[in-house]
Amino acid sequence: MSQVAANAVAAAASYLLVGIGFSLIYTAVRFFNFAHGAIIAIGAYSAYVANASLGMPAPLGVVTGILTSASSAATLEWAIYRPLRRKRTSSAILLLVSLGIYVCLQSLISLVFGAGAVSLRAGVISQGWLVLGARLTGAQVAIIACGMLGCVSTWLFLHATLMGKLIRAVGCDPELADVHGCRQDRIVMSATVLGSALAGLAGVLLAYDSNLTPFMGFSILLGGVVAVVIGGIGNVIGIALGALLLGFTQNAIAWWISSAWQDVLVFAILILFMMIRPQGFLGTASRMGAV
């Protein structure tokens, strides 16, 4: 039992990292950015290059992953999304563009590294850490620690710094923020960089915990998105609760029924939530989904 709970918390922490990053970007750009999934995989694979190919130590691999994710997302924002936003492109078109980017990046990764799984795990498999009667791998401990740290620091960033407040202002009402002299491009760029750094971090840590595949980003991203939909966009505490709910449901299903049906139930929960409460558990009425 405690093992189920421990795995659930570790899974929840990874959804939390991805969900917060996704929500940060969504707040600023307000379209569903599928390319975020590829950004996660890019972080994981660049850590793989740094550690396995270039022989760097693990912490440097983590840093490399974060930097690569953040800089590739920044490049995409600068080269593709920003010009489109200036043309007042609708969110539907931006969503399609991000799908195209996702497909391109995913197949680029398969082209370079092969479509099969590669492993980052170094050396022998250790027994892991004993916490409250459950065994956790080193990577799981790191994910939980980073998840909590990421959650707290993002909340502080959004509520206590000027840039955080600007991001929330743009998310609230972009026209009004513009009238008040907020420079939208800079705000979107910083949200993109921060959100993608969190995505890269999650990708690298998950890569240490299990294998890397070119398709890994999508399923992780969807876990994060479910947490965001349950918790409400931009609501860090809600996302944390959503991630925990998702992590526990998934692991309970895996424990009592079968891990094969995890995905089906997760997506069914997501559809139900969007039908019943699109603003999330704790969210106030959102502009998303409204006509």
Partner 1 sequence: MEYLVHILVLVSLYTTLTFSLDLIAGHCGLLSLAQAAFYGIGAYTSAIVALAFGVPFPGALAAAAGVAVLMSMAVSTPSVYLHDDYFAIVSFCFQMIVFSVLNNWLEVTRGPLGISGIPQPVIFGRPVGQLEFLALAAGLAVVSYLVVTRLTKGPFGRVLHAMREDDVFSQSLGKNTFYFKTVAFAVSAALAAAAGSMYAHYISYIDPSNFTVTESILILSMVIIGGAGSRLGPLLGAVTLVLIPELLRFAGFPPSIAGNLRQMTYGALLILILVVRPRGLLGSYGFEAK
- Specify which residues 130 forms β-bridges with: 135
# of chain residues touching partner 1 (CB under 8 A): 46
CA distance 64 to 60: 6
Give Cβ neighbours of residue 164 (< 8 Å, ≥ 6 apart). 156, 157, 158
Q: Is residue 254 close enough to count as binding partner 1 by CB under 8 A? A: no
Which one of 162, 275, 284, 285 is in contact with partner 1 (CB under 8 A)? 275
In whole angstroms, the minimum distance from the beta carbon of 50 to partner 1 comes to 23
Give Cβ neighbours of residue 271 (< 8 Å, ≥ 6 apart). none
Stretch that binds partner 1, among 47-55, 60-68, 104-112, 119-127 (CB under 8 A): 104-112
Q: Is residue 104 close enough to count as binding partner 1 by CB under 8 A? A: yes
Q: Binders of partner 1 among 146-175, rule CB under 8 A?
A: none
Which one of 111, 122, 152, 156 is in contact with partner 1 (CB under 8 A)? 111
Distances (CA, A) of 279 to 105, 138, 160, 243, 284: 31, 36, 24, 16, 6
Closer to partner 1 at the Cβ: 63 or 274? 274
Which one of 96, 131, 193, 282 is in contact with partner 1 (CB under 8 A)? 96
In whole angstroms, the minimum distance from the beta carbon of 117 to partner 1 comes to 15
Q: Is residue 99 close enough to count as binding partner 1 by CB under 8 A? A: yes
Cβ-contact 196, 52 below 8 angstroms: no
Burial 246-264 (b: 16+ CB within 10 A, else e): bbbbbbebbeeeeeeebee
Among residues 220, 214, 198, the alpha carbon closest in space to that of 67 is found at 198
In whole angstroms, the minimum distance from the beta carbon of 267 to partner 1 comes to 4
Q: Is residue 255 close enough to count as binding partner 1 by CB under 8 A? A: no
CA distance 291 to 285: 13
Stretch that binds partner 1, among 56-64, 123-131, 221-229, 248-256 (CB under 8 A): 221-229
Which one of 15, 22, 48, 102 is in contact with partner 1 (CB under 8 A)? 102
Q: Is residue 42 close enough to count as binding partner 1 by CB under 8 A? A: no
Which one of 2, 75, 90, 161 is in contact with partner 1 (CB under 8 A)? 90
Residues found near partner 1 in the complex (CB under 8 A): 31-32, 80, 83-84, 88-93, 95-97, 99-104, 106-108, 110-111, 114-115, 218, 222, 225, 229, 260-261, 263-264, 267-268, 270-271, 274-275, 278, 288-291
